[in-house]
Amino acid sequence: MLNRRIFLTSLLAVPAMGSLARAAEDLSCTKSYMTEDGLHMQPWFIQDSFLDMKEELQRAKEQGKRLAVIMETKGCPYCAMMHEKYLTQPEVCAFLRKHFAILQMNKKGEREVTDFDGEVLPERKWVMKYKMFFTPNIVIFDDDVENIAKKPPEKRIVARMDGPGQGPDMFLELFRYAWDRGYEKGSFIQYLMERARKGKQG
């Protein structure tokens, strides 16, 4: 069977059109573009997904990255702020691009998602399955590819942020928490307190 990613690559061999062409033009940290469904999109987010979550998790792990999902919706002012004020910060952008594979989901989307456990459902129902209510909403998943499907949905998530957070610094800290595996020792708040304590000592 022809691997789906190879199939996609063959399609992209023809002249690129629309959003994929814009994404290829600029992978900098200073520009986003608008998708056909009205969402702000970073060119360094995952662009070629078939929304097979286990496949994306495996691919991220092979790249030495963690898998994160950011849910957005058309006309969301806080989503626009996240793209314009947070993701353009050099430190934020550099850290996320280096350590995370980020998949964007549409709160009202109808694209089919194949979840870790094999369940197939539209985006709008997938995000509800993971209790992603407010936009933007960020969830970062466990990287245990073989066992993640055995866990209930809420236990597959190691870090989450409902809304844009309190500025780009706090936004970045959530991703640091996941990358440092702070969740193995305690909550996000405990992680922040420990980092603050070490900062004062250092």
List, for residues 49-102, the tens digit of each pLDDT value: 999 999 999 999 999 999 999 999 999 999 999 999 999 999 999 999 999 999
Q: Does residue 190 form part of some domain? A: yes
Contact indicator for 59, 120 with CB cutoff of 8 Å: no
pLDDT-based confidence at residue 200 (cuts at 50, 70, 90): low
pLDDT-based confidence at residue 3 (cuts at 50, 70, 90): very low
Q: Does residue 38 form part of some domain? A: yes
Q: Does residue 34 form part of some domain? A: yes
Look at the chain and report how many structural domains it folds into.
1
Contact indicator for 144, 57 with CB cutoff of 8 Å: no
What order do you get walking across the sheet with 66-72 strand by strand? 100-106, 66-72, 137-141, 157-162
Instruction: Find the domain containing 95 and state its range.
Output: 28-201
Q: Does residue 13 form part of some domain? A: no
Give the global pTM: 0.84
List, for residues 102-146, the tens digit of each pLDDT value: 999 999 999 999 999 999 999 999 999 999 999 999 999 999 999
Q: Does residue 49 form part of some domain? A: yes
List, for residues 23-57, the tens digit of each pLDDT value: 334 456 878 899 999 999 999 999 989 999 999 99
CATH value at residue 75: 3.40.30.10
Q: Does residue 21 form part of some domain? A: no
Q: Does residue 4 form part of some domain? A: no
Burial tier of 200 (Cβ tally within 10 Å: 0-12, 13-18, 19+)? exposed
Q: Does residue 9 form part of some domain? A: no
